[in-house]
Amino acid sequence: MSKKSTYLLGIVLTIIIGSLLYWYLCCNICCEKQGCKAKETLKEVVKDDLGKPNVKKPTFIPFSIKDVNGNFTFSTDENFNFKESSFSIRDSISGNLNNGILKIKEYLDSNGDKRFNIIGYYKSDETNNSAFPNLGLARANSVKNHMVSQGISSRLINTFGELKDDMHADESGVLFGPLAFDVFTRTEASAANDEALKPACEAIKESPLMLYFKTGSAHINLTTEQRQKFANISRCVDKLGLTIQVVGHTDNTGNADTNLQLGQKRADFVKDYLIRNGILQENIETSSKGQNEPIADNATEEGKAKNRRIVVTIN
Helix or strand run (H / E) with residue 174:
strand 174-176
Q: For residue 155, what is the DSSP state?
A: G
For helices 224-240 and 188-206, give the axis angle rounded to 10 degrees.
120
pLDDT of residue 221: 83
* Cβ neighbours of residue 303 closer than 8 Å, sequence gap 6 or more: 251, 294, 296, 297
pLDDT of residue 195: 79
CA distance 45 to 300: 67
pLDDT of residue 34: 46
Residues linked to residue 25 through DSSP beta bridges, in sequence order: none
pLDDT of residue 112: 92
CA distance 164 to 160: 13
pLDDT digits 0-9 by tens, 159-174: 999 999 999 999 999 9
pLDDT of residue 35: 45
Helix or strand run (H / E) with residue 312:
strand 310-314
Q: For residue 87, what is the DSSP state?
A: -
pLDDT of residue 33: 44
- SS3 (DSSP) at 219: coil
Rg, C-alpha atoms of the chain: 35
Question: Are β-strands 179-185 and 114-122 bridged in parallel, bridged antiparallel, or unpaired?
Answer: antiparallel
pLDDT of residue 91: 84
pLDDT of residue 61: 96
pLDDT of residue 31: 46
pLDDT of residue 92: 86
pLDDT of residue 191: 74
pLDDT digits 0-9 by tens, 83-115: 999 999 998 899 999 999 999 999 999 999 999
Please name the amino acid found at residue 142: S
Residues of the chain with pLDDT under 70: 1-55, 213-219
pLDDT of residue 36: 45
pLDDT of residue 214: 66
pLDDT of residue 108: 96
Cβ atoms of 74 and 87 within 8 Å: the answer is no
Residues linked to residue 82 through DSSP beta bridges, in sequence order: 175
Helix or strand run (H / E) with residue 305:
helix 301-307
**Greatest pairwise CA separation for the chain in angstroms:** 134
CA distance 119 to 157: 11
Cβ atoms of 285 and 245 within 8 Å: the answer is yes
CA distance 130 to 192: 29
Please name the amino acid found at residue 273: Y
CA distance 97 to 79: 7
pTM: 0.78
- SS3 (DSSP) at 118: strand
pLDDT of residue 131: 95
Torsion region of 223: left, alpha or beta (phi above 0 gives left; psi -120 to 50 gives alpha): beta
Long-range pairs, 125-130, Cβ under 8 A, ≥24: 125/165, 126/84, 126/85, 127/85, 128/85, 129/85, 129/86, 129/87, 130/87, 130/277, 130/278
CA distance 18 to 49: 45
